[in-house]
Amino acid sequence: MRTRRELLQHLAGAGGLALFGGRLLAGCDDASSGGDDAGRALDAAGLLDATPDAGGTADAALVDADGRWWLSGNFAPVADEVELLDLEVEGALPPALTGTYLRNGSNPRDADSAHWFLGDGMLHGLRLEGGRARWYRNRYIRTSLFDGTAAGGPVPTIRDNASNVSLVQHAGHVLTLGEVGLPYAVRPTDLSTVGVHDFGGALSTAMTAHPKVDPVTGELVFFGYWFLPPYLTYHVADATGALAYSQVVELPASVMMHDFAITATQVIFLDLPIVFDLGRATQGATFPFRWDEAHGARLGVMPRAGGAVRWVDIDLCYVFHVLNAYDQADGTVVLDVVRHPQLWVDGPEDFVSSPRLWRYTVNPATGAVREGPLGEDPLEFPVGDRRFTGRPHRVGYAIGSVGDDFLGADARHRL
């Protein structure tokens, strides 16, 4: 069983981004550059002996007493908020490596957290400058759920979310993102929470945890799904951070659309069979999503500028994360994802699966689609070079495992 320190070292990029010279070098929910250095710096800092900040603490006695594996072992939450200065460095840091590494993730404060995805968002930050590790600190994101001001009820409002999945840097803002709901702006200097960011009041829907920044146009392309109609809305913010375009995309039901893809000209939606069950929500279910084979699985290809969606059916599956997508000269679109053949068949705590890197090639003009694996190793959290988002890519990286279960022993893959 790996320790929490080892988890931070191996999964330091889960929900992370790196701000080096103002450039976004690593993305969210992936194994990102700098992960090993961050892990070593945290180890060298001696976090277990750090003096906690009294602002927010988790229950240090969390144990896996009832099968909730996300509260113990590899996944146990960090107990305290800390701040450490002038960290000890083993070896030498290149003086030119200057910037702040940030990561976001679920970190429940008590033993009542009912699902891996439902913990409070916690930021971790590591500042490198002039060959020195200047500081490490971690802070809870002060959301409405954290401070107890959320509205409550079986269906939350878009302002009520834990903001616990990822981060994005765009137009001078660093935003933390959750599965559903509005993002929160944070200060990368001290990790303090600024507050809800709704694009100056223009955004009235939820925002995905996996928006895409176009490296050429500077646009922030994203969507929001919701539990009641409209189930899906597409958005584009321009390079200045102003919301420039929105369009409702019709879906037959509310589905958990965790990620999507863009190319230089197209956007690709994933309508897959993890559906929201309003009946379960009104009965008090803490995570009212379920696997529904009858819903089917399909991809929707739409022009980035908006318009009609071309839906194509695919084999039944679920996709949490996209590696990348791009246009080809013949008009087809290539989409690389990590594909789970099924998910949560025995309930939302069931993550036993064999996810593989998978490629779809879609012809939006004819509706033809080809699909198949790009490898046999189980893996998750894929990431590519963000300078090539929406453009042809040569390599990608992912966290994998030894064995068939991606929650097993870790390995890293260069794809």
Cα atoms in the 13 Å half-sphere on the side-chain side of 253: 18
Taking only the tens place, the pLDDT of each residue in 196-207 is: 999 999 999 999
Q: Which of 250, 269, 286 is the last residue of a domain?
A: 250
- Rounded to the nearest angstrom, the gap between the alpha carbon of residue 386 and the centroid of all alpha carbons in its chain is 15
- 344 in a structural domain: yes
- 145 in a structural domain: no
pTM for this structure?
Answer: 0.83
Say yes or no to pLDDT of 337 above 80: yes
Outline where 274-399 has alpha helix (H).
278-282
For the segment 282-295, the average pLDDT, to the nearest whole number, is 87
What is the pLDDT at residue 403?
54
Q: Which of 98, 114, 140 is the last residue of a domain?
A: 140
Residues 112 and 3 in one domain: yes
Q: In which band, very low, low, confident or very high, does the pLDDT at 19 lie, cut at 50, 70 and 90?
A: very low
What is the pLDDT at residue 52?
33
Residues 364 and 294 in one domain: yes
Taking only the tens place, the pLDDT of each residue in 369-392 is: 999 999 999 999 999 999 999 999
Is residue 222 within 8 A of residue 197, CB to CB? The reply is no
Contacts (Cβ under 8 Å, ≥6 apart) of 90: 40, 44
Q: How far apart are CA 159 and CA 151, in angstroms?
A: 9
- Maximal CA-CA distance, the chain: 62
Structural domain of 171: 155-250
Q: Which residues pair with residue 301 across a beta bridge?
A: 268, 310
Q: Which of 195, 216, 250 is the last residue of a domain?
A: 250
Least confident of 28-42, 141-155, 265-279: 28-42
- 271 in a structural domain: yes
Pair of tokens at residue 101: 């590494």
Q: Name the strand (E) or helix (H) holding 45.
A: helix 35-45
Q: How far apart are CA 385 and CA 383, in angstroms?
A: 7
Q: In which band, very low, low, confident or very high, does the pLDDT at 127 lie, cut at 50, 70 and 90?
A: very high
Is residue 200 within 8 A of residue 231, CB to CB? The reply is no
Taking only the tens place, the pLDDT of each residue in 223-272 is: 999 999 999 999 999 999 999 999 999 999 999 999 999 999 999 999 99
Closest CA relative to residue 305, chosen from 269, 271, 267: 267
Residues 3 and 119 in one domain: yes
- 148 in a structural domain: no
Closest CA relative to residue 378, chosen from 403, 351, 360: 403
Please report the DSSP string for 72-98 in residue order: SGGGPPP-EE-EEEEE--SS---TT--
Residue 229 — φ and ψ, nearest 5°?
-60, 145
